[in-house]
Structure 1
Amino acid sequence: MADKQATIFVLDLANSMGKVDIANEFNKSDLDFALEYVFDKIGTKIIGARKTDFVGVIGVSTPETDNVMANELDYAHISTLLPLKQVLLPDFRMLQQRLLPSKPGNEGDLVSALLIALFLIEQHCQKLKYIKQITLLSNCEYATNFLEMDQIVKRIADLEVSVVIMTLGDEITSDVKRDNLQKLSDFAAKAREYGAQIECVSYAREVLIEMDIPTVRTIRPTASFRGLLSIGDPFEELYQDGLIQIPVERYACIKLAKAPNTTAYKSDTNSQIGRKIVYKVELDSDEDPNGDGKIEIEVEKDKLTKGFRYGNTVIPFDNDELELLRFPTRPGIDIIGFVALAGVKPWILMSETAYIVASSKSEEAQIALSSFIRAMREQGLAAIARYVSKVDNPPVMVLLFPDPEILDTERDILLEVEVPFAEDVRSYKFPSLSLIKTTHGKILTQHHHLPTTDMVANMRAFVNAMDISSLTESGLPSDQPNNGREFAAPGQLFDPINAAINRAIIQRGLNPDSSIDNVISVEPGKEYSLAPLLRQTRPPKKLVDLASDLADHLVDSLNVQKVSKYATNKRKFRQAGIEELQSSARTDKHDLKMLLNSGNKRLKLDRIDQAKELDQADKIDLDTFDLKSEIRRWGQRSLSSDPDTLDKVFDRAAAHIEQLLDQIDSPPLPEHESAVHDQLRIELQALQGQSKELDEESWWNSFYIRLSDRLQMSGSLGISVLDKIKKDLQIPD
């Protein structure tokens, strides 16, 4: 059970609170700012739905007087708008209707309202343990009675109430406000003498930014397991003398916080709906009204039988047999053995984390577990254990190790993380980034698929420049050690999806007809509205600017090139690109050349069957690749030490293939087709053989796919030549 809380908001509703200052860049009144803060805090409490979280609201300078001390003149124009209770959505909307600026002359006393709030807290909480807080919001534009300040501070200290006085308005516009602010400052200073918690803050940009930070729900620790931690074999009677068992408790350390789920309901009645599962079986029948020989029959749930799929067949098992398959276990944490903590691989830590502490009811258990943990810490060991939460629950293998952040003077704690079984591990093999082993067993340390020394150096410099472990407030690396803070540290980031849903619920609850487009950025373009929960999911802009030159060097060394939208080996996407170009050509025939020549588009296609109506002058260039440049670039990478082979094979092949493809684009003749095929076959066979010798078959496969796309786009002659080449080179479809 979480700690009980009692929070009262004392809100100034004077006429001056509703005025909008011309110099205010946000075009909002002080009351608008105050309501933003109050509704944000109350809405968060409604989302939490805790029955032990009580909220009250007191309005100052209201037209009427409605409070427990209404008979006394000093408490006029003060109303208890919401008594301390669990706030619900109807209360939320009621406050929206009543929290409005009052007319001039209805000013109430802020200190008197504070005394009423203290009385309500005292009456509600009595002597019970509560977290008590009063938040007072006002622009302090009218006179306030600060007499008997010592008695008020002493009462705040006795009740153990935390008081936050939030002043609104950036400028001091009158002597009255200046005098009130000075008295409030003295009020807070005197509180320190009595040990009272009174804080005066100014409602500024920092408060607005703080409102964008989601509130993390505080959860009272609840033990998920209470049992024995066994060191030894608890199942073998022969070893019972050497068995050590320590009573322990298990608490959640890291647990997934899920976003709120939607609930189906009938909109016109606003009532939730239930679900009913209907089971049906399909049988063969001659009486089927649909004429397909099948009929569906509804089956009762108690007539269903469970089973396991075995190939295409379901093997049935009744409930008694399934009970026999259940693994018999008993609850407990049984240590199997110990391993070196330094040798534990991070990738095996696959689950939520839990704390293991000694039982709070046994001093002997605390001493025993403390000794065990300190021995593990001194030896640098971790324990492999078998954890069962309840009787006959499936066993789980866990890793237990001391918390490295707990000092020796604090309570000793074990951390528990689930580790995988053999069936959970996916043993994928990935190519090495330091060497390549050919099919003939040759080891290559220099290859165009391997990073060069220059690439590694540039990448190392870029990674070091993007280090976010120690940054200053401006987002730049700290010059001095321990002078910065870690940016986006694990455990300090907020889930943007969860936060956005909660904010949308609050906004729609307060304004049912409002749009939720601005749940992330309150006012785009304003500095304060850049939500911190999104800022920490991106690197700091100043750090990115600082590393931009290194990023450019890295891009150059890695030869990074932009991939066009349809640059893919899958022909269905290539066809989509062609159709898009045809559509563009039909839409604006005269601007086609300018559109296609804006990039690096060398390969031309003269005829497209679906666009015969286009003028011959408007030939369509495809965003594909330059054959000659591609072949020569590959040859230079693979044969940089053999220029003779480069000249004889690759230069000749590149030039001849380019000429042959140009001929294919020309009007074909029967004898022309045969000649083109023979010459193209010779060149491609030479390239295919050379790629096999150099263990570059992957390049050849990619090259051939793009070449076949090129031939298919060249009309009937290109398709005919491609069919013959497939047979000659023995390439499957």
Structure 2
Amino acid sequence: MQTDDLSDIIPKLKEDEIQLVVIGVDFDDAEYGFKEENKDATKAQAVDELGIPRVKSTKPVASYKGFLTLGNPEQYETAMAIDIERYPKIMAATTPSASKFVVRSDMGDATQSTMTMNGEDGQNGSNDGLAAVKTAMTYQVVDTNAPGGKRDVDRDELSKGYEYGRTAVHISESDRNVTTYETTPGLDVVGFVDKNQYERYLDMSRAHLIIGQRGNEKASMALSSFIHALYELDSYAVARLVPKENKEPRTILLAPSIEPDFECLYDIELPFAEDMRSYKFPPLDRVVTVSGKEIKIHRNLPNEDLLDAMSDYVDSMDLSIFGKDDEGAPTEYMPMDETYTPMLHRIHQVIKHRAVFPDAEPPPPYEILTRYSHPPDELVQNAQPALDRVLEAANIKKVPPKARGRRGRKEAPKPLSELDIGALLAQDPKRKHKRIDPRNAIPEFRQLIIQAEEDSAVRDACTQLKNIVFDWIRHSVGNSGYGRALEAIRVMREEMVDMETPAIYNEIMQELRTKLLAGDLGEGRGEMRYHVVTKKLGLIKASDLPGGASDDEVSKWRAAG
């Protein structure tokens, strides 16, 4: 608090009869030996309230105003048509976006200009030394006669089109209406579905609420009758929605909601067939053998003891009654109206702090923003006995970490015959030079890696497998040989990672890329490099293993040319 001008400020306050109220939280000062006893906690509570985000109230904007129809009112007198209004109920809050600015070099008063709110240059802007960054986009086409092999074209010369296979289908602006699906605004009930038959995973969008037209008692009464009919029959309505003319139609589900002082329909968008993703996974409650037999008791299936222990553990982690209300009674631990978006309010917190203290480090996030990012300690402590029973029932054991750099430490697998395979191979005159047979390349490569005692032996084995892979690619009919080549590359990569020798593998992959781009392995072999990239068989990065490739080298290797 600046005290230099207090002699002038005090007479002015008295002259204008200004009352100065100073609100303090804690004026205790150990240095001066001052401590106030029995302080009122109201001020401290007020400061704590500043750490609770304030939810912004939004003005309701209708996304649809029109009729809710059942049947065609233009053809049938018995059809239903209700004036309704539709408003968003649940919508994801967006975080504020940052703008790009540069520090101006021309700081003179006569030449300084800034960006106004409409995006145009203005002479009366703020003198903060910043200028907004403008974005310019240019369009180029390949032209061998132009400098650099590309020629700039004006946007007006461009036309839109669609890709059909490898063919560009051009549709002019005058014919653009042929791609428009003509629709008229409306909300038409298509049918009804039993409440218990609806699957929750079909919810695909934000939720809206539908009410009768405001000020129209007849519409409100009619909609209330429709809502009560759905509620009493435990049913949902399926409707077709077109919010505006020529907008794409949507299929939505209408669910009734009845409260003591409010009735409405909640709607959620339903997926079309193209929106569904169908996956098949093995069942969790049984094991299906190759012959189709179903096994209910298996070592990979939970037994009754494990199911009971897990059920008790889930019950012990119940959050619905872990909280306490003002009277100390059990209540919900994290109610929805107290669960705030951490990212949104953290950004607001940092912006406000940086605006006041430009050079200071931002404060830690508010406690309420991180409160629900982990289970409460007391709940975890109370549930520990139940968790211990789960670990005991599931026979959980700690697995030691995988050893790195296994060379000289990995014990070769022992055959059932207990014969010394290495000695037998060493006695074979055909194995004198330890050449890898392309017909059995991967097993023999692994055998050589296990027996290798020097780096030269490892490099020789990788070189042999590399030449075999190159030969498979070169003589592949189409992409028929890519599969075994990719498998050999995968095995080589795994072995080099285990032996902590990424340099050998990276050298081979660099050579593979060079030969594929140069066409040394045959014309049209670029697809092979695409498969290597998509299957994540590229260079071993330094972040994964010491001595690996840098991020720039990895990016350059993935580049097309």
After TM superposition, the score normalised by the length of structure 1 is 0.51
C-alpha distance in 2 between matches for 1:384 and 1:412 = 19
The match for 2:123 is none
| Count of aligned positions | 429
- Letter of the 2:182 partner, please give it: P
Shift of 1:534: 0.7
Cα distance change, pair 468–266 in 1 and its aligned pair in 2 (3 A): same
The match for 1:203 is 43
Shift of 1:503: 1.0
Cα distance change, pair 708–333 in 1 and its aligned pair in 2 (3 A): farther
Equivalent in 240, 245, 248 of residue 84 of structure 2? 248
C-alpha distance in 1 between matches for 2:188 and 2:83 = 12
Shift of 1:178: 9.4
Shift of 1:305: 1.3
The match for 1:552 is 388
Cα distance change, pair 230–465 in 1 and its aligned pair in 2 (3 A): same
C-alpha distance in 1 between matches for 2:87 and 2:245 = 19
Please say if residues 23 and 43 of structure 2, whose CA atoms lie closer than 8 Å, have aligned partners that are also in contact.
no
Please say if residues 252 and 355 of structure 1, whose CA atoms lie closer than 8 Å, have aligned partners that are also in contact.
yes
Secondary structure at 1:506 match in 2: helix
The match for 2:95 is 259
Q: Are residues 1:271 and 2:111 paired?
A: no
Q: Are residues 1:307 and 2:161 paired?
A: yes
- Letter of the 1:392 partner, please give it: N
Structure with a larger share of its residues in helix: 1
Unaligned runs of 5+ in 1: 1-12, 16-60, 79-107, 111-136, 140-166, 182-199, 475-479, 522-530, 568-576, 579-603, 607-620, 629-651, 678-704, 724-730
- Letter of the 1:499 partner, please give it: H
Cα distance change, pair 66–245 in 1 and its aligned pair in 2 (3 A): farther
The match for 2:291 is 440
The match for 2:321 is 470
Cα distance change, pair 473–363 in 1 and its aligned pair in 2 (3 A): closer
Equivalent in 182, 185, 196 of residue 331 of structure 1? 185
The match for 1:539 is 375
The match for 1:320 is 174
Q: Are residues 1:393 and 2:247 paired?
A: yes
Secondary structure at 1:302 match in 2: helix
The match for 2:62 is 223
Shift of 1:538: 0.8
- Correspondence list, 1:400-479, <5 A: 400-403=254-257, 406-407=258-259, 409-473=260-324
Larger of the two Rg values belongs to structure: 1
C-alpha distance in 1 between matches for 2:446 and 2:392 = 29
Deviations 1:486-506 (A, max 9, x none): 223445422211122111111
Please say if residues 168 and 202 of structure 1, whose CA atoms lie closer than 8 Å, have aligned partners that are also in contact.
no
Deviations 1:643-691 (A, max 9, x none): xxxxxxxxx73x83xx75xx75x9984449979x9xxxxxxxxxxxxxx
C-alpha distance in 2 between matches for 1:469 and 1:511 = 41
Cα distance change, pair 460–266 in 1 and its aligned pair in 2 (3 A): same
Please say if residues 138 and 168 of structure 1, whose CA atoms lie closer than 8 Å, have aligned partners that are also in contact.
no
Cα distance change, pair 372–497 in 1 and its aligned pair in 2 (3 A): same
- Letter of the 1:376 partner, please give it: L
The match for 1:192 is none
The match for 2:120 is none
Shift of 1:473: 4.1
C-alpha distance in 2 between matches for 1:708 and 1:549 = 50
C-alpha distance in 1 between matches for 2:160 and 2:430 = 66
The match for 1:212 is 51
Cα distance change, pair 537–327 in 1 and its aligned pair in 2 (3 A): same
Shift of 1:508: 0.7
C-alpha distance in 2 between matches for 1:711 and 1:440 = 38
Equivalent in 520, 544, 550 of residue 365 of structure 2? 520
- Correspondence list, 1:373-388, <5 A: 373-388=227-242
Please say if residues 191 and 238 of structure 2, whose CA atoms lie closer than 8 Å, have aligned partners that are also in contact.
yes
Deviations 1:5-32 (A, max 9, x none): xxxxxxxx799xxxxxxxxxxxxxxxxx
Q: Are residues 1:508 and 2:508 paired?
A: no
Shift of 1:387: 1.1
C-alpha distance in 1 between matches for 2:427 and 2:272 = 67
Secondary structure at 1:297 match in 2: strand
Deviations 1:392-446 (A, max 9, x none): 111111111112xx42x31311111111111111011111011122222222222
Q: Name the % identity.
A: 26
C-alpha distance in 2 between matches for 1:510 and 1:458 = 54
Cα distance change, pair 605–471 in 1 and its aligned pair in 2 (3 A): same
Please say if residues 192 and 238 of structure 2, whose CA atoms lie closer than 8 Å, have aligned partners that are also in contact.
yes
Cα distance change, pair 373–551 in 1 and its aligned pair in 2 (3 A): same
Please say if residues 331 and 388 of structure 1, whose CA atoms lie closer than 8 Å, have aligned partners that are also in contact.
yes
C-alpha distance in 1 between matches for 2:134 and 2:242 = 35
Shift of 1:270: 1.4
- Letter of the 2:194 partner, please give it: A
- Letter of the 1:508 partner, please give it: R
Please say if residues 488 and 537 of structure 1, whose CA atoms lie closer than 8 Å, have aligned partners that are also in contact.
no
Cα distance change, pair 244–213 in 1 and its aligned pair in 2 (3 A): same
C-alpha distance in 1 between matches for 2:278 and 2:92 = 27
C-alpha distance in 2 between matches for 1:473 and 1:320 = 66
C-alpha distance in 1 between matches for 2:130 and 2:401 = 47
Q: Are residues 1:64 and 2:12 paired?
A: no
C-alpha distance in 2 between matches for 1:262 and 1:565 = 44
Secondary structure at 1:250 match in 2: strand
The match for 2:334 is 488
Shift of 1:261: 0.7
Shift of 1:452: 2.7
Please say if residues 487 and 536 of structure 1, whose CA atoms lie closer than 8 Å, have aligned partners that are also in contact.
no
Please say if residues 386 and 396 of structure 1, whose CA atoms lie closer than 8 Å, have aligned partners that are also in contact.
yes
Residues 433-442 or 705-714, more deviating: 705-714
Shift of 1:566: 6.0
Shift of 1:296: 0.8
C-alpha distance in 2 between matches for 1:258 and 1:66 = 50
Cα distance change, pair 707–62 in 1 and its aligned pair in 2 (3 A): farther
The match for 1:365 is 219
Cα distance change, pair 300–62 in 1 and its aligned pair in 2 (3 A): farther
Shift of 1:627: 6.1
Deviations 1:255-294 (A, max 9, x none): 11011111111233312222222111113x2x4666xxxx
Please say if residues 425 and 431 of structure 2, whose CA atoms lie closer than 8 Å, have aligned partners that are also in contact.
no
After TM superposition, the score normalised by the length of structure 2 is 0.66
Secondary structure at 1:547 match in 2: helix
Shift of 1:562: 5.5
- Letter of the 2:360 partner, please give it: S
- Letter of the 2:89 partner, please give it: C
- Correspondence list, 1:559-638, <5 A: 559-560=395-396, 577-578=404-405, 605-606=407-408, 621=409
Deviations 1:209-235 (A, max 9, x none): 43332221111322222211112135x
Secondary structure at 1:242 match in 2: coil
The match for 1:138 is 23
- Letter of the 1:541 partner, please give it: D
